[in-house]
Amino acid sequence: MRRAARAPGFFHTVRMPSLVPGELPVAGGRERRGRLRRLPLLIAAGLATGAAASVPPRVHAAGPGGDPTGAVPSVVAARADPHSLANLDAFRVRHLDLALDVDFVRQRLSGTVDLEVERLDAAATALVLDSHDLVVREAWWVESGRAVRAVAYSKGAPVPGLGEPLQLAVPPGPAGGRFVVRISYQTSPGAGGLQWLTPAQTAGRVAPFLFSQSQSIYARTWIPLQDSPAVRATFTARVHVPPGLRAVMGASNALATPADGWYRFEMPQPIPSYLMAIAVGRIDYRAIGPRTAVFAEPEVVEAAAREFADTERMIEACERLYGPYRWGRYDLLILPPSFPYGGMENPRLSFVTPTLLAGDRSLVSTIAHELAHSWSGNLVTNARWRDFWLNEGFTTFLERRIVGALYGARRESMEQDLGLQSLRRELGELAPRDQLLAIDLRGRSPEEGVTAVAYEKGRMFLDWVESRLGAAALDRLLREWFEAHAFQSATTEQFREFLLARAEASRPGALDPAQVDEWLYRPGLPAFAVLKTSDVFARVDAQRADWLAGRSGLAQLPASGWSVQEWLHFLDGMPAGLPGARLAELDAQFALNGVRNAEIAFSWLRLAIRAGYEPARPRLEEYLTTIGRRKLIRPLYEELMKSPDGRAFAQAVYAKARPGYHPIAVATLDPIVQGKAAP
Ligand code: BES
Ligand code: ZN
């Protein structure tokens, strides 16, 4: 793997922490600021059209390698990835070298990125990158690690949802050749991919915290790069943090505290941009296995180490099924509660919500899920967001296999059933075009593809293949798929071809291509879908029915022996319109307002809102103001907004909670609670 060459001692000439706009990160007075001119805005494109129009630059800028002819070729007419403004056909970023200072006072990252770029198109003289709300200060042509001359650059007009294309003038050169450009930049306080937390928003309440969330298209809010899952790059990074804080990245993490405050990272395997990840805070760690540790604030690190003690066994189970774990270490970072997701599969270091810390390992399927992405997603990556189900459907399938291997078939069946129920609920609300596995997201946000369709319909497609080929044959096929496409991106169509060819070889006639296409390209669930129905919840169903019909009292329910999954099923299956008095009975018997398990509390609170059960309000307010995980709060706000009284309550609570929510959660909730899109 080639890297950007870097002269030793670079950091002696570049004092990153002191950089301010106008100061140049270059050695030896070679800066040619006087000759640097900005190109005019080159690109105006609409998310709605999904195509970038390009205007050739009219400026004769001081491009590297002499004066450009002015004939910059069209940037991109029809983009391979409708969610990137980069000209992926002409250039590929192969390696990044970051040097960033973390400034909690100004809430910004600032520094440089060196991009090592492979040229695909000999004639191309404009390198177009994705950027979103970045402040670019300078751009340089780099040779042997030294900035040798200024590169002319310009920012195009903002494209709603996609950011501003950043265009750099580069000289033509042979296809296959590589060059390095350095961009000096800083982030904006409102960067969508970063959340800056005050001390009060952390467990320890003494130090601030920063974390990134790059999926799907937020890496461009903290690094200028080609922000497409079709592009993979290796990276190295240096991150400077204030005394007493630790920086971690989805990369190799050194445990020693550097005396100079500069943490160093290396990611030798090429990864897509949406897996770029960083966090900074008062972060401690505990080893929990030979290649596994938890990173967390000191206040929660012990609890996390206990909760996730099975992680090494999960890795081994997945390796037995799908081949070796290819990333070296697998660590977990427990974030503060505003983390908007259950988990995020950042390579070598999954980011997870503290709402998994239930005390009884009952919610660890999310760890199985994020770990499984080390094969499905991180090793073989959806080429476009249209192919998101290749990431999430496969991962949900692998997650259930891991859960089955560690916790048995009963637990696996329960999670399958809960997944199917969530899919049924969502299919009832989604437009037909959103019910396809290969979803057309052109002109839309990739977020619109994040539904149970990708996760559970995708998983059910593989269940169906399994019913046709046999479990062992499907596991073998998946293992071969991961091996054949390791460290590559793949499309739905590539998987379709692979699947049909392998199936034909192992069991001729077993898969009907028309049925495969129905799974991929038609809405809803095919009539021939196999529903792995089980009777794991039959007892709970009967017990709920008995209580509802007055045939038994709550004291007779064997609830103390229920698993968390049985509790969820018990509560989720309650009928609409259950009177408040019956909820009072439940609450009196089981102290549901005091339940700390975040999933059970969620099911209870949703039920309480539906029933208008007022005594749950204080707990609901506490829940909504202390948890920022979108899956657990969005449905509660949605439910509240259905009644005038609930609406007033939701708006009052939201006003208090909103400053603590992540920008991604705010963007989702503003339209729901305030009835308007986020600014
Ligand atoms: N990669 C996803 C999270 C994600 C998806 C972030 C799309 C941004 C855009 C992660 O692996 C995931 O699926 N998380 C789930 C948990 C899982 C157990 C279903 C979540 O956060 O709920
Ligand atoms: Zn996932």
Pick the atom of ligand 1 nearest to 345's CA: 11
The yes-or-no verdict on residue 395 having pLDDT over 50 is yes
CA of 342 to the centre of ligand 1 (A): 6
CA–CA gap between residue 592 and residue 612 (Å, rounded): 15
Name the more confident of 675 and 529. Answer: 529
- CB of 599 within 6 A of ligand 1: the answer is no
Mean pLDDT of 495-500: 98
SS3 203: coil
Task: Considering only residues 37 and 135, tell me which one the structure prediction assigns the higher pLDDT.
Answer: 135
Please give the pLDDT value at position 236.
98
Per-residue confidence (pLDDT) for residue 576, from 0 to 100: 87
Q: List the Cα angle 235/238/244 in 5-degree steps.
A: 140
Average pLDDT on 137-155 reads 98
Taking the centre of ligand 2 as the mean of its atom positions, its distance from the CA of residue 276, in whole angstroms, is 15
pLDDT reading at 440 higher than 60: yes
Mean pLDDT of 649-658: 98
The C-alpha atoms of residue 441 and residue 120 are separated, in whole angstroms, by: 27
pLDDT at 497 over 70: yes
Is pLDDT above 90 for 340? yes
Long-range contacts of 300-307 (CB under 8 A, 24+ apart): 300/203, 300/334, 300/354, 300/357, 301/334, 303/357, 303/359, 304/332, 304/334, 304/357, 307/356, 307/357, 307/358, 307/359, 307/361, 307/364
State pLDDT tens for residues 220-269: 999 999 999 999 999 999 999 999 999 999 999 989 999 999 999 999 99
Distance (angstroms) between ligand 1 centre and the Cα of 212 equals: 14
Phi first, then psi: what are they for 633, rounded to 5°? -110, -35
pLDDT, tens only, 516-538: 999 999 999 999 998 877 899 99
Whether residue 162 is predicted with pLDDT greater than 90 in this model: the reply is yes
Q: What is the mean pLDDT of residues 400-404?
A: 98
From atom 19 of ligand 1, which residue's Cα is the shortest distance away? 366
Residue with CA closest to ligand 1 atom 20: 342
Query: 310-349 burial string, b = 16+ CB within 10 Å, else e?
Result: bbeebbebbeebbbebbbebbbbbbbbbbbbbbbbbbbbb
Q: What is the CA radius of gyration of the chain?
A: 26
Distance 336 CA to ligand 2 centre (A): 19
Question: Is pLDDT above 70 for 178?
Answer: yes
Out of 344, 387, 397, give the residue to mutate to test ligand 1, the one with the largest number of ligand atoms within 8 Å of its CB.
344
C-beta of 341 in contact with ligand 1 (< 6 A): yes
What phi and psi, each to the nearest 5 degrees, are found at residue 496?
A: -55, -50
% of the chain residues with pLDDT over 90: 86
Give the chain's largest Cα–Cα span: 88
Amino acid at 668: T
Q: Cite the active site residues.
A: 370, 455
pLDDT reading at 81 higher than 50: yes
Coil, strand, or helix at residue 63? coil
- Residue 485: CB within 6 Å of ligand 1? no
How sure is the predictor about 582, in pLDDT bands with cuts at 50, 70 and 90? very high
Q: Is 345 in the pocket of ligand 1 (CB under 6 A)?
A: yes
Mean pLDDT of 78-97: 93
Domains and CATH numbers, the chain: 10-282 (2.60.40.1730), 291-345+358-521 (1.10.390.10), 548-674 (1.25.40.320)
Q: Is the CB of 407 under 6 A from ligand 1?
A: no
Query: In sequence order, what are the residues at sequence separation of 6 or more whose Cβ sits closer than 8 angstroms to the Cβ of residue 164?
Result: 85, 131, 132, 133, 134, 155, 156, 157, 158
Residue 567 one-letter amino acid: W
Atom of ligand 1 nearest to the CA of 631: 22
Pocket test for ligand 1, best of 195, 308, 341, 352 (most atoms within 8 A of CB): 341
